[in-house]
Structure 1
């Protein structure tokens, strides 16, 4: 079953994923905000079972200068090696038959067949219990893009 944790920006989706993991176990990753001195810089990916983290996304103006392999959009710089790390984690999770699986957060990249698109297809096709966080405005597109017909909505606000 696919459980979709949805809400607006800054509504508590990541916190909900953390709480679900604490209650049900399994494995996956979350996107933790990087905030220093009250300034939002970006996100780190953190694997739930190990706490291992990797810098993932930065606001363009704060992107580390040593990042050479990146993908950029109008607002953010994405560190491509972080995608590779997440793929490595997720394939290990699927192989180990961990369940439920958690993915935080799906967005425009995936709906444009980039970012975690292929990984999400693999996870959905694994027939495991899945919790995926995404903004409410992407819900219909997400269901269509990944051909999901059986799902439950967990709305946070």
Structure 2
């Protein structure tokens, strides 16, 4: 399921369109982004992160629908030009609110590389807290080496 257009404080999240592909490909290949993201096969299941009419990245979510384990996960990348301006937390918070309020999730997860301190700091601003290290969790697409991931979660009543 795709989300409708969502508005944050400064960002707009909207379903991607084919015209976004070249821009998103360029962003995911920026060295600061490529360190943590491999180019996806397609962007159709993502939402474009838009600021002042410009696509600056993408955000996606997945949902576990088993009623005994129901939760949602979030992942995001932004162009390095826009890092450090509070737009990542704005986008994550906007999507998180929709997942809680409209989709009924009581728990959200996010799993950055443990070494991605900027992402961890950004997610903490939204209210995500570390749960634990997932050893050898993800393969670095550039080197082939396994890297640790940090599991973080946020309960609905903790969402700011």
TM-score range, shorter chain: 0.3 to 0.5
* TM-score where L is the length of structure 1: 0.35
In proportion to residue count, which structure has more helix? 1
* TM-score where L is the length of structure 2: 0.34
Question: Which structure has the higher relative contact order (CA within 8 Å, separation 6+)?
Answer: 1
